[in-house]
A and B are shown apart, each in its own frame.
Chain A
């Protein structure tokens, strides 16, 4: 690791493991606005990393680049040993085409701030459409998978309903299940509770905690919920001004922030030593 050399940077046991995702010198600009500046970032198989930071710090762009929703301005990303944004032709890296993106992207799943369920499909079809069309599963098997996931997120009873009849929290739980039925190796959560009514935030966070406990999936959690980050993450990355300013196990990050920026940032959340909001 380049950022924190000697210090342990994650509570996760990474001994002998190769990162499943590697960002190398990734930069992203929107016009004159450079939102990410030569980011190096590794995510290990099974590791759960929370990404925190003020809005506009580039956190969301980190996830969107991996989901191929934005194109990097410079740098490379590798997923499970394969380049994402490039492919090798005669030992040279050339920009990837849609076919290549399609192959690599299958390892990644994403949950959005605004859920983005398909409003014209029932909950069941929201979950089975991609497994059938993209993975080529028989309909029956896809439905089995979907039922299992709906149960996991506590939404079995709504299988026949349409998204519009669900509350925000319920929609987000379905959206999580929809991403999970694809069995990605890496899950991205882009501020999954920011658009929710306060009373439904808890149910969604609990679902994510459950998944984090059970699975061996890698997770990237972009969040403003500090106590949640503290509880779930093996590592917390603090982003500001397009750079990783500080990262470490949550116990370190929340109790002994090294940088002034992080101290200032955490003050805004009234986070105490246990990472709990007061």
Chain B
């Protein structure tokens, strides 16, 4: 097996760069979804009403403890039969990974919310904030600050899980590498380059997270 540079530069890299955007879009889409739904889950989970908090807890545990690939297959292959809902691989992928990661993030939010001292809630009550204002002005800004680095790390983990989406036919990096391999019978270059691309993106993202962590730390008193 000899590494072919011209094949790498003329075929592999251009074709992979063409779909890198797909991987990034799927990552950002799923993460944005997870950030929003995760917060909603965390809040529902805290509800005083058991008929809200218990089913939420059950949902979170169920999603967290089953493989994301099974969930993706379910959304992509079963939803059309069950609900007559046929989704594109991209939408199904964002939905599937988004839901899966929202359950992780809901736990992160929970930790953040619990880290806000009781006195902050009491001061907000004493100033007569409505429950919604309390969350918006006082609790969430303080809850989210310390968990930002953790959320950043989940973004990186999610990014590394996007190759799962090739299983439902999304042409992202790994799907494309497989395609190139199948056409040319050369797998070494495509998968090596895919690995390097993931490394470059993950590493720069992790540097950003590190910086954020440091910055938050400096502002900590």
Q: Which residues of A contact B (CB under 8 A)?
A: 67-69, 98, 102, 105-106, 108-110, 112, 114, 116-120, 129-130, 133-134, 164-165, 178-179, 182
Contact = CB atoms under 8 A, between A and B. Distances in A.
A164 B221 contact: yes
A110 B127 CA distance: 8
A158 B191 CA distance: 59
B119 A114 contact: yes
A133 B129 contact: yes
B126 A110 contact: yes
Nearest to A134: B128
Most buried by B among A68, A110, A112, A120: A120
Interface stretch (B96-104, B134-142, B155-163, B166-174): B134-142
A98 B131 contact: yes
A120 B145 CA distance: 9
20 contacts: A67-B125, A67-B126, A68-B125, A69-B122, A69-B125, A102-B128, A105-B125, A108-B126, A112-B122, A116-B120, A118-B142, A120-B141, A120-B145, A129-B127, A129-B137, A130-B128, A130-B129, A134-B129, A165-B221, A179-B127
B130 interface: yes
B123 interface: yes
A182 B123 CA distance: 13
Given A114-B119, A117-B123, A118-B120, A106 B128 contact: yes
A134 B142 contact: no
A175 to B, nearest CB: 8
Interface residues of B, number: 19
Contact of B133 (A68, A98, A133): A133
Contact of B126 (A129, A133, A165, A179): A179
Most buried by B among A116, A117, A119, A178: A116
A92 B42 CA distance: 37
A182 B127 contact: yes
Interface of B: 117, 119-120, 122-123, 125-131, 133, 137-138, 141-142, 145, 221
B7 to A, nearest CB: 54
A117 to B, nearest CB: 7
A106 to B, nearest CB: 5
Contacts of A117: 123
A178 B127 CA distance: 8
A118 B145 CA distance: 13
A157 to B, nearest CB: 19
Contacts of A120: 141-142, 145
B43 to A, nearest CB: 16
A116 B123 contact: yes
Given A130-B127, A134-B127, A179-B126, A118 B133 contact: no
A106 B130 CA distance: 11
B128 A118 contact: no
B145 A112 contact: no
Contacts of A134: 127-130, 133
B37 to A, nearest CB: 25
A221 B117 CA distance: 24
Contacts of B221: 119, 164-165
A164 B133 CA distance: 23
Contacts of A108: 126
Contacts of A133: 129, 133, 137
Interface pairs A-B: 7 shortest CB-CB: A116-B123, A164-B221, A130-B127, A116-B119, A110-B126, A120-B141, A134-B128
